[in-house]
Each structure stands twice: as structure tokens, then as C-alpha cells.
Structure 1
């Protein structure tokens, strides 16, 4: 790598033991060696060739340095201008490019620095640095954080002066003096984390950086450089910066490495922008920003990313894979042929709408992206999958706006679906100015009809697909299924009492139907589908779903301002979407359900056409013996006598 323009892939160069002591005194040499190791161990020859071509084609030059500016990065990735996420992403890159030495940030995006950014963003570093995702979370926080909240990347004054940075980094003697003697005063405003006064906290070890330098046998250099690093617990991420990044992540949630980001920008209508802002605000609320600094602290960032939104940054991987595909490389084109015009469309939406009426539903691409930040869906075989790349499709089974508020309609449309479903309930929070509340429940197993017999207890198999309850508004919160629950049903339906998720269901009799009782984390919808009650109470014990740590902390610390533990609200809309997975040559669930419903309609018509004269009692006795009506009929549907 280095600044050479050779098309050959970078190779790992062993360090002579006689000069290792000199190299260990210079972080720039170690950073260079790490970039070489990334290039040789984490990429193929062709990928490095594509990357070099992309970098060289757009690079700016100053003296002997090739580098990328902010507008170059934004132009290459085709970031939508209305989101204004380019400065935030560039801020991240100038920090990650200095890995594993925080004191070298912000750095200029040379070819080596940008390669390290791509390696970290795509997760390819795991091929040689076997550390957990928690270490990457810390690195991402550092790349977004500032000490002074006014030093925002949205402000032009906060951007680094590229000429000054280059002049500082070119001479090695000046670099050493800058890094090891005057590090505290040489950082660009808005990028570094200033050292607070009277701070007695010890900095946590950066395990990912330790792993990088451990692979280079240079741990002592990291220990020395760590002295010039800043205290992470006194840093914040400005809310506005985080919101811009989250809106971008929501927009490109289903992006592929070959899909231009620009095609997503073409769909940015005012309505889509409002939806992105609403979802981003809900996710931001999950980080519990500090009201004084309007920033997100490290402890809240780690807690939220690891529990509530574990897949928040996943779209960055496919986004930075774009660096490994150059338009100038086409192995299928003959030399004399003109360059073909290649049009790559984004993946089709997984949400299938059979009619224009479905377009008014609350479930859209933005809401699906928000849900995927918190949970993964299961395939029929029980393995986790990405809902965008798997070819899964969501088909509307029931909606109160389209099918009315009849539980019999709900029963017919939903109980006949024999695969996983997604339930979405929306309404308005009481005693607020039209503040919305939206909840979603992913149920990997089919709904159970009480008329068909007792429901089987929850699965004890730890590898079985797990349900999940998610709050999408007013703040993001996730409630996974409790693996230790073996008594409380995850979902329950009764035409007499309504819909219950995570509720305790009393023993039912033929004469008396007792309503379900709210569990610690549960949702109860009444029989007329007009009112719902949601409860999140960690003090109530263990239930079908696990509490959200962030929401539970907010409820205990700010009881007067936080979301109540129990909320009853009027339902605006309730929707159930069936999840259909692609199959081989067999019939998918949509086709099978359509055949079942057609058969039931034909059977009901046939029963209505049977003539028994005036002997109705005899007719009913005959139908009971046939098992078509009465207690032996099970969950069959049809006409009545």
C-alpha cells in the first residue's frame, strides 16, 4: 500500500529484528504495517485492485500525498443531500483511519487510512483480529464523539483544515513531536475528545486496538499512546449528528454492495423524510440524551446499541463494500467493445401490497427498517436471516381499516395462516398532544385457535425461534421472548376476550370466559379492537417477554417524565402481516392459505345448500355425527343450521 501507485496488491513485509526497536517508537510505521496486514489477509487480489482504482480515480494531490476530501467521499457514496449525513460519516472516517492510535486522529484519508476504514466498517478485521462486537461499538462511539457539544460536524468551522493536517503529518520528526510531546494541544476542534480537568476515572482498554497491536507485537506502543488519549466517559455524541446518521441507516437498511446509494435518494419525498425523522427520533430517545448537553454519553450508547438496537450499524457494512467494486473493471467486456450501460435497481420492497387500500397501512419500508434495527427474523428451519436479502415477503392478512373491527374476521384471516406473523398496533398516547404510540410483535409460530384444543406450552428448546415485542414510538425499546418462561403464552386469541401478547391466561371453561391478566411485559387488546393496554413493569417479576434495560432505567430515574409503566390507549389501526419465505418447487404459504380459504367458502356454500325438510333437530344431529358442527367440529368453519 503506502503511497505507491502500483496495481499489485499489498503484501505483508516482515520487520527486521534489528530495526524493530526504532519502528516501535513511531506509530506511523505501525499504522502502515497494520494496513499492509489488512490488505494481505482480509481481501482478495481482485478486491484490492478494485479498491486502488476507486481511490486513485477520485484522489486529490498535495505534494506527495494522495487523499480524499469530504465531498469526494460523499460523491463516491452518492449520499442523499437532504439527509446531510456526509459530514458525520466523514468525521467517522477521519477517526477510524487513525486506528489503532487515537492520538493520530483526525487523519487525512490516504489510501492506507481509507483501507482501514473499509476494513473496520465491513467487519473484515475479524479475519485477523478475533474480538467481539463490543469492541467495535466503543470504536464507533469514539468516531462519533466530541467533548464540546457545540463542536458539531454540521458547522463549517468544525471541519478540519486539510492543509494544516497534511503539513503536520508529512515530516516524521514533526509527527513524533506532535504525537508524544504536544498531543493535548494539537487536535482539530470538533474531532478529538478534550481531556477534562480533575478526572480520576481510568480509561478502559481499547481491546480492538490492543488486538491490532498484539498482532504486530507492539503492545507497549499502544500503552504509551494511550496516555495522550482522551477520557471516553466525558465525551458525547451530538444528537443532531446521530440523528442524521440514523436517518441514512434507515434509508439504506436493505442496501447491497452493488446498489448505488443514489437510487435511494430518488425516493426521498417529503412524506418519506417525515417518516425517517419520526423513526430516527424514536431511536435517539432510546439513547436517553443528556438534556443539558443534548448529547449521548458513552454508557447509554453502549447499553442501547448492545441491547435495544444491536443491528443499528449493520447497513454500514454493505455501504463500504462499494469501495471494492470499480466501474472501470469489467472482466466480461472485450477490449474493442464500448462500455456497457449497467442499471442496478435496489431490492424490491419486502412489503407486498395486493391493492391500493393496503397503501394506507401504517406498515411501510421505514417502519420495517426500524424494526430490523432491533430484531432478526427466523426462517422456517429456525435460522436467523436478513429479511432484505432472504427474499422474505410480508403479506397483509388483516387490518382494522380494511377488514373492520370484527374478531371473526380476524380469526378467519389470521388463524388460517400457518407461518410467522408481524402484528402492529398504533394509537395516541393519552393526555398528550397527539403523541403516537406504536408497538410491533414478531411471532414466528402460527396463531392458536382455542376451539382446536389446549395450547401447547412454550418451547423449551433454546434453539427454537423466539418471539419479540418491540416498541417503535415514542421511543425504541425491544422485549425479547423469555427463554425461561414455560407457562405464560406469548400470544393468545379468543373471540370473547380479545388478543393477548405476553398475558397470563386463566383456566377457561365452556360457560365462563375469564379475560387474560397483564404480564410484566405484555399487550392486551380488548374484544372490540378499540382499546389496548401495554405494560412494562420490571418489578412485576418474570413473564413471557424480557424487559428493556434502557426503558426500565428511564422509568425508575425519571418517573415523572418517563413513559408510564402501564398505558391504555385508543387504537387507530391494528394490522397483521403474514411472513412468507421463498420455497423451492413447492407452494408457498400465500398459495396454501388462498386454497384453504377458497375451500372453506365452498364448504360453507355447500352446507347452506343441504336440504333436510323441516326436521332441523335431525339435521343438526346428522351434522354433529359428521363432525361438522358442535364440540367435535374443532376449528372448521362454515354455515349454521
Structure 2
């Protein structure tokens, strides 16, 4: 290894010097002076020292981020950082987490590199895969015995003349093998170019150095992510989903009880299953990783952005002490859960938990606008609130009750269905996000590309995480449909009514569809890519598993007993304070809902008090002619014509 500033035999600037220059460029172009000051203070306060090198150990990183010990995610996250800190030179990994290396980690994790490296998220996915992958047959994070001694890593980055002096004194070699899992394999093939690394070196006019360094890199096709390691990271991401740069990190560990840990593990297992680990090695290949992240879990690593933003806020900096007029900012409390429970609701029971909400946020983006899907945002970034409209556990299994509670809601809804697969005895949880209000008559999707219905989607939480996006070319099949005679349909073909007096024809299952019978007891879910074109598209990973007849693949058509059906109304209050508020000058949708239901109840009570001279049959016939009761009443439930 050569001292900084020296050139190698080929006349190229050494990777260490270029890595240093890239860190300086990140610092000057991607951060403000105040952010760098905060970061330097955080790093220096907790850094260990070896010779003249300041660095962070694994324990330091875990303590700063307040990673809960039961998740066991610390070693995996630390291993990711030691790889990303060597960016853009894989041959320098694993690296010591110096101040410059850690700055590069933060820049990549938060996505700030995009300010100077005009590359897409696809390149970051490849980098994250490399940081999680191993290159030999032992598919797990190295044990403490296999990890390099920190002093040895520090020696690796000291100037060559200092190393030679110490070697003469101690009679030992300074060669460091690195992590045992990163031992190179015998491979003569050239590595594919890493576009993000090329962009970094291109900004430094050092493409040739990168290509020279790549000769020592490993073929990505030989790399695999251990499923157990990925699960540990995913449990952490689920726990901190919805985190902000100012959210106190310790709060998440305080809330982690046995019940929450069990729920996190269940959801993490379902997400890992979406990557289709190889049966024998339990490793995840690059092709499966990219396919799953880009199609099924586009926001999987989103919580890392805000998590690593915490490095840019130091508790030692209190700007208010220079401003006597301003009070000192108190510790910020954790953001309340978007799952809203009314204080007067004493029967609140739900399958919709914070863990399932976090799992949903990794796939589903919702629209905060009632007229356009161009404003799609992450569930937490949208400031949405979920209000329970209907639940079989609270409102019974009556379709009339479903109609009354759901059809009066004039905004987007979330549908959740739980049951048990009969053959496998596995729990199954399905869901649907429907941006448009429910309607009594089937309505085909709008042809407008900005229609909010384009954001409609089905998804599956258990036993495998799946995502079924809206078919952009669908013009005829409604996303949702309700009929008191045939039940509830999502993504089904609705036959035209043959007769005004005859019973309606039952819906026909689409390629990806859900059908619930009229007594809310049985649910049918179909995922069959060979069934033609429907309202929703198949999940690529699940479709591949089904075609390959994998044991983990669920059947194309599953009929199961429905345990719970829930419908949640989505509203967008301006501030999440636990109280109802106004958003953009409009009254909160939940207040409108309560007023509509209260008016309907009062109107129904008023009608019941009308005196028809004791002729109840005649009174009912009169109301039927007016369309207020009976089959022609629709969903008015007591409202006026």
C-alpha cells in the first residue's frame, strides 16, 4: 500500500487518494456547513483511536443508532457499512469506519449522492446487495472469531513506511485477510461494471483506476445474501418504519415487547419469502433481489434514509442558547400511529397493527389527492390516517351493515381480509388499497392516465408478501364491487344484468381477484397469470414460484374461511395530534362521515314515527314506491330521495 498522494506502477492515482477526494466532494456538495459540523461532533465524541486514526467500532454504531439487541441486526448493519465505506472501490472493503468512510455511508444510505451522481435507484439496489452479500459457502455474517482485529484493519490503512518499521520491530506481517465470508473465489471472469461507482469515478476523472480495481473484485453471480441476515435487517426496517430524522431512536427499543417482536418476525418471514431463497443454501441471488425490490417492495429500504439522517443532528449543538427570545426545544415525542382509534370506541379490535402498517408502507403508495395519482407518496410521508369504518368483529357479518358504513365514506379506503389456508394451515392476510369511493354500480376505470384508480392495488401480507398493481390497460373491469345478493368482489368481471326482476349473476374471478360470498363467511383468492387480462397484474415472484411448482408456492386458487374483514377509511388531517383537524381548508372526512351517519339515523327514526293509521303493510308499500326501503333503496339506509 502506498502513502496518500503517491501513484502506482501504472501511473494511476491510488484508490485511497481517490476515495479521500470523493469523500471531500460529498461533504462540500451534498451537505450544508451546519450539517457537517453536527456530523463531525457526533463522530469525534464517540470515536475510538488507534495511532492517528479515529474510527467507530460495531458497538459504537449500534449504540448511536439505539439498535435493539433482540433484533440482532447490529452485526449485519455494521458489515453493510464497512462495505459502503469503501465506495467506490470494492477491493478496499471491509474498511475501517473512519470519519470519511462513515460520511460516504451516510451519503449513500440517505440518497444524497444524487446531488452530484445522476444515477437512479437501480444502482443503489446493486450496491446494497453487495453490502449484504457473501461470496463463499458459509452464508452468514462472520462470527466474532472470524472478524478481523480492528488494530489490524487500522494498520492496513497506515502509510507503508510506518508499517515496515513496525513489522521490523514486531517481526510480523501486516497483511489482513478481511472477513472470512469475503475470501475471494477462484474466478477469472471480469466483473460487470457498477454504474454508480463509475459515476463517482467519472466525477473525479478516474475511470481507469476503477477498472483496474475491478480486476480484484468478485463476480456478482457468485454472491448470495443469507436469508437469515436479510431477515435481521428487515425486522429493523419494520420496527423503525415511519421514522423521521428527529424521532428519538430509543423509543423504538422501549416499545419492543415479546408480542411486537413475534409480529415483526412473522412479517419479516413473509417478506424474505418474497425473495425466493434457494431451498438448500437459504441464499438470495442478485436476480431475485433486484426483481423483488423493484416490483414488490420498492420502499423496503426507505427507513434507512431517516435512520442515517440522525448522524447530522448533534445533541451538543443548541443554537437556542444564542437566542434568548426562543425557548429551548424539548425532546420530540414519537409520531402517533396513523391507525386511529376513537376515544369513545370501547370495542376496538383489529388485525391492522403497526407492524402490518409498516409492512404495507414498503409496497403501497397512496394518493393524497382525490383527483390525481401523480401525488403518490409513501404511507408515512402522506400524513394519512386510517379510520375504522367496518369490521366483522365489531359490526357483525351483515352486508347491510357493511353497505351503511362503507358506502357513505367519500374518500379512499383500505380493505383487509384474514383467514387460514385449509391445506397448509397457514394464516393468510390479503388487502386492497382503493383510492376511489365505493359505488353501488360497477364502474370501469377511467381512461385518464392521472385517474386515482391507477393507484389501486391488491396485496398479500401472509404467508408471502406479494404486490398486485393495477393493470394500466384495464378499461372494463372494476377494481371493487358490492352487491347485497352476490357479496364483495375485488378485480372480478361483473356480468351484465340479464333481467330487472331476476337475481344478479355472480361475479367471475379475474386473473388476480378476491371474491367474498354474501354471508361474509368464505373468501376466494385467485392468482393465475394464465387466466387472461384483469384489473390487477400478477406478482412476478409468486408467478415464477407457481410455474416452477415450488413447495413454498401457494395454489393459484385458494378458498378459505374468512376470519375477519375490515374496511378503513383514509383521511389526511393536517396534523397528527390525536384530535380531528382540518386539512387544506376542508373539513376532516371523519367528521363528515359521522354527520352523514347521524343524519341517516335521525331520518330513519323520524320515519319510524310517522303515523300511517296502523296500516304497516300499506306504510311499507308506500316507502318502497318512494325508493326508501327494499331492494330499490340501494345504500340509502333511511336517507331521503
Regarding TM over 0.5, the answer is yes
Structure 1 residue aligned with 2:178, among 181, 188, 192?
A: 188
Task: Tell me the residue number matched to 2:488.
Answer: 499
Structure 2 matches for 1:56-455, cutoff 5 A? 56-150=44-138, 152-153=140-141, 155-172=143-160, 187-190=177-180, 192=182, 194-197=184-187, 202-334=190-322, 342-354=330-342, 359-381=348-370, 382=372, 383-432=375-424, 434-450=425-441, 455=442
1:17-69 deviation digits (Å, cap 9, x = unpaired): x9999983300111011001100100011001101111111111111101110
The alignment status of 1:558 with 2:549, answered yes or no, reads yes
Helix, strand or coil: the match of 1:158?
A: coil
Instruction: Please identify, of 418-427 and 340-349, the stretch whose mean Cα deviation from structure 2 is larger.
Output: 340-349
The alignment status of 1:486 with 2:475, answered yes or no, reads yes
Contact 1:151–1:158 (Cα < 8 Å) also in 2: no
Shift of 1:391: 2.6
Task: Tell me the residue number matched to 2:170.
Answer: none
- The 1-side partners of 2:516 and 2:163 are apart by 65
Task: Tell me the residue number matched to 1:11.
Answer: none
Task: Tell me the residue number matched to 1:521.
Answer: 512
Task: Tell me the residue number matched to 1:512.
Answer: 503
Structure 2 residue aligned with 1:531, among 508, 518, 522?
A: 522
Helix, strand or coil: the match of 1:316?
A: helix
- The 2-side partners of 1:441 and 1:189 are apart by 44
- The 1-side partners of 2:346 and 2:146 are apart by 48
- The 1-side partners of 2:529 and 2:162 are apart by 56
Shift of 1:622: 5.7
- The 2-side partners of 1:524 and 1:411 are apart by 16
Shift of 1:333: 1.2
Distance 1:599 1:639, change over 3 A: closer
1:206-240 deviation digits (Å, cap 9, x = unpaired): 00000000111111111111110001111111111
* CA RMSD between the two structures: 2.6
Structure 1 residue aligned with 2:539, among 536, 548, 553?
A: 548
Instruction: Please identify, of 411-420 and 607-616, the stretch whose mean Cα deviation from structure 2 is larger.
Output: 607-616
1:352-409 deviation digits (Å, cap 9, x = unpaired): 1226655531100000000111111111243112332433110111111111111011
Contact 1:500–1:516 (Cα < 8 Å) also in 2: yes
Task: Tell me the residue number matched to 1:462.
Answer: 449
Task: Tell me the residue number matched to 2:464.
Answer: 475
Helix, strand or coil: the match of 1:109?
A: coil
Shift of 1:636: 2.2
- The 1-side partners of 2:222 and 2:46 are apart by 37
What 5-or-longer segments of structure 1 have no aligned partner? Answer: 1-14, 177-184
Instruction: Please identify, of 610-619 and 128-137, the stretch whose mean Cα deviation from structure 2 is larger.
Output: 610-619
> Aligned residues, how many?
609
1:566-617 deviation digits (Å, cap 9, x = unpaired): 1111111111111111213431110001111111111111111112325668
Shift of 1:191: 5.1
Helix, strand or coil: the match of 1:482?
A: coil
- The 1-side partners of 2:524 and 2:626 are apart by 42
Task: Tell me the residue number matched to 2:586.
Answer: 586
Shift of 1:625: 7.0
Task: Tell me the residue number matched to 1:6.
Answer: none
- The 2-side partners of 1:375 and 1:639 are apart by 35
What 5-or-longer segments of structure 2 have no aligned partner? Answer: 165-174, 574-582
Contact 1:106–1:191 (Cα < 8 Å) also in 2: no
- The 1-side partners of 2:516 and 2:621 are apart by 37
Distance 1:265 1:196, change over 3 A: same
Distance 1:242 1:149, change over 3 A: farther
Contact 1:87–1:153 (Cα < 8 Å) also in 2: yes
Contact 1:279–1:370 (Cα < 8 Å) also in 2: yes
- The 2-side partners of 1:278 and 1:40 are apart by 43
1:314-352 deviation digits (Å, cap 9, x = unpaired): 000000000000011111114999x96832211100001
- The 1-side partners of 2:71 and 2:347 are apart by 28
Contact 2:277–2:284 (Cα < 8 Å) also in 1: yes
Task: Tell me the residue number matched to 1:609.
Answer: 609
Contact 1:169–1:175 (Cα < 8 Å) also in 2: no
1:110-167 deviation digits (Å, cap 9, x = unpaired): 1100000000000000000010100000000000111235363262223332111111
Task: Tell me the residue number matched to 1:9.
Answer: none
Instruction: Please identify, of 576-585 and 545-554, the stretch whose mean Cα deviation from structure 2 is larger.
Output: 576-585
- The 2-side partners of 1:391 and 1:608 are apart by 42
Distance 1:174 1:239, change over 3 A: farther
TM-score of the aligned structures, taking structure 2 as reference length = 0.90
Distance 1:569 1:59, change over 3 A: same
Task: Tell me the residue number matched to 1:598.
Answer: 598
Contact 2:238–2:355 (Cα < 8 Å) also in 1: yes
Contact 1:152–1:190 (Cα < 8 Å) also in 2: no
Helix, strand or coil: the match of 2:481?
A: strand
